[in-house]
Amino acid sequence: MTSPRHNASASAQPSVAPAARHPAPDGTLVILGAGGDLTHRLLVPALYDLACSGFLPDDFKVVGVSLEKQTTEEWVASLRARLDAFTRDKHAEFYTTKISEETWQWLASRMTYRSMSFVSAEEMQTLTADIAGRNAVFYLAIPPRFFEESVVTLAKVGLLTEKPGIFRRLAIEKPFGTDLETAGKLNAHLLSVMKESQIYRVDHFLGKETVQNLLALRFSNLLFQPLWHRDYIDHIQITAAETLSVEGRGAFYDATGALRDMVPNHLFQILALVAMEPPTSLKAEPVRNAKQQVFDAIRPITPENAVRGQYIKGRSGDRIIQAYRESMGVAPDSITETYTALKIELDTWRWAGVPFYLRTGKGLSNSVTQIIVQFKQTPLSLFHTEDGQPQPPNRFVYNIRPDKGADLHFNAKKPGPETNISEVVAQFRYEKSFGSLPNIGYETLLYDCLQGSASLFQRADNIEAAWRAVDPVLKAWAKDKKPPEFYTAGSNGPAGADELLARDGRSWGPLNNIKK
Ligand code: BG6
């Protein structure tokens, strides 16, 4: 933490947040859904982290809106209780040994709770006084069924109207529609009451340092640039595997499935960052344009290139995981997939003939989000390993979680009179290089939204292009109504996913011997 800032403040609020070089502009964050999990678990811890590092301005306010009847003090106390709970759980997403009383007071003194319905114009009207003459970001931490109505209400009472020097923005999280048609309708709806530049479509994967670093890795190092090409790369794998089952989210998940839940959003964001051409700058439009080119280049995915699986009862470590169909909120004959693997081809000069294999699922043997860039074999194999195998081709493994960092696998001569080679690994680990900082993954997203920097957020056409790419698979699955292939919880997924790669003479990187 840098040294505390002691600004003279016109208000009676404490002003002890430490100074950052570029704090966000003055303004109010209005959270719709202030009583919910997203607010408690992610948004407020992220605000606390931002306050700790001085990225919030002195004239910052948070207004929490929810139906629940409670006072500001009660709301603030419940937020604090959740933060405190994190200090007792080393495995929590946000872990810190101690909450700084001074910083918490700084933040808490800027918070107000309003009990009201976010779809009642009459009640929402009363927020006008809270944000009169101020910049404001409205964060929709509410169930998606309320998205359209709440935004219409905000617009109706004039809360989204910008004036010279005053911004009004909307942050909205996935699920952004459930297919191409619904995403298109939601976009049209939002754009009928506000400008594209006011909308910040959040994909929480882009809040992860390791995901943001993909741009830096690719475009601040000349090293990778010439190799990042069909001439040198055999194929790329993107994995987002979870040991978690659907836990308490059965009803949501059964109507969603692994493909909708993870692919056109999180996995495609990774795909875009890995496959995109260098943007002309890091500003929002060049980055979004470069991503759009990737989405537009995805060749329609045929059902033969899409695997679906569903977990049955099994064991993960010392935990017994019940079959998906026995989870609360899930139909006993559900055919919803809890796992999907896809082969994706991009019709571009850079990537023609280089398949991208994507897989994601729940109830698997390990929780790991990872990219494997598998390079081609050398034109001629001069060397062998000790057991007579040809030299393995180089591999670059980028770990998004849990072991954040990257491994470059290459060959070296094993010391000794014989000329044998062995694979060695050059390793980068975030913690070793940068130390460990509490980071919930929403800090940068909130800060950028307040700053008006939209590079990490999706444009309407990005969202629709991603849905367009998976639409043929969704339609084919809805039509054939085939049950997914079963896999045992705690395993590496269905056999069909292995066959998808075996067909091309390839195999997935290991899942279950990666460090947890
Ligand atoms: C969410 C999905 O968007 O992302 C969840 O709805 C999934 O099903 C989660 O578990 C994964 O995110 P993370 O950050 O835990 O990898």
Nearest CA to ligand 1 atom 4: 262
> Would you say residue 91 has pLDDT above 80?
no
d(CA 448, CA 419): 54
Q: Which is nearest to 344 in space by CA: 354, 332, 333?
A: 354
- Evaluate: CB of 261 within 6 angstroms of ligand 1: yes
Write out the DSSP string of 130-149: HHTTS-EEEEE-S-GGGHHH
Give the distance, in angstroms, between the CA of residue 64 and the centroid of all CA atoms in the same chain.
Answer: 24
Give dist(CA 322, CA 363) in Å, integer. Answer: 9
Summarize the annotated binding site for substrate as residue ranges. Answer: 204, 208, 242, 261, 362
The answer to whether residue 284 scores a pLDDT higher than 50 is: yes
Query: Phi and psi for 452 in degrees, rounded to 5?
Result: 85, 25
**What pLDDT digit, counting tens, does each position of 209-253 carry?**
999 999 999 999 999 999 999 999 999 999 999 999 998 899 999
Give the residue, by CA position, lying nearest to ligand 1 atom 13.
Answer: 205
204: CA distance to ligand 1 center in Å? 8
* Residues with catalytic function: 266
Q: Supply the pLDDT for residue 46.
A: 95
- Cα gap 115→124, rounded to integer Å: 10
| 3-class SS string, 178-247 | CCHHHHHHHHHHHHHHCCHHHEEEECHHHHCHHHHHHHHHHHCCCCCHHHCCCCCEEEEEEEEECCCCCC
**270 close to 440: Cβ distance less than 8 angstroms:** no
pLDDT of residue 345: 98
Residue 384 DSSP symbol: B
- Checking DSSP bridges between strand 339-344 and strand 168-173, what pairing results, if any? unpaired
Q: Is the CB of 242 under 6 A from ligand 1?
A: yes
Ligand 1 atom with the smallest distance to the CA of 249 is 8
Beta bridge partners of 61: 28
pLDDT of amino acid 98: 86
Q: Is 82 exposed, middle or buried (0-12, 13-18, 19+ CB in 10 A)?
A: middle
pLDDT value of residue 334: 98
Q: Is pLDDT at 436 greater than 90 in this prediction?
A: no
- What gap in Å lies between CA 231 and CA 221, rounded to an integer? 19
CA nearest ligand 1 atom 2, residue: 261
Q: pLDDT tier at 15 (50, 70, 90 boundaries)?
A: very low
pTM, 2 dp: 0.94
Query: pLDDT category, 36, cuts 50, 70, 90?
Result: very high
Distance of CA 118 from the midpoint of ligand 1 (Å): 26
**Residues 443/444/446/452 CA torsion (nearest 10 deg):** 160
Mean pLDDT of 420-445: 92
**E strands, 203-318, in order:** 233-241, 306-312, 314-316
Return mean pLDDT, the chain: 93
**pLDDT tens across 495-511, in order?**
999 999 999 999 999 99
Q: Is 369 in the pocket of ligand 1 (CB under 6 A)?
A: yes
DSSP for 406-419 reads EEEEEEEEPSSSS-
Over residues 322-375, the pLDDT tens digits come to 999 999 999 999 999 999 999 999 999 999 999 999 999 999 999 999 999 999
- The atom of ligand 1 lying closest to the CA of 205 is 14
Mean predicted confidence (pLDDT) in 43-50: 95
**What is the predicted pLDDT for the residue at 435?**
87
Domains of the chain: 27-173 (3.40.50.720), 207-435+459-502 (3.30.360.10)
- Predicted local distance difference test score (pLDDT) of residue 93: 65
Mean pLDDT along residues 46-52: 95
Q: Which two tokens stand for residue 23?
A: 């704090």
Q: From the annotation, which residues make up the binding site for NADP(+)? A: 174
Q: Ligand 1 centre from 240 Cα, in Å? A: 9
- pLDDT for position 20: 65
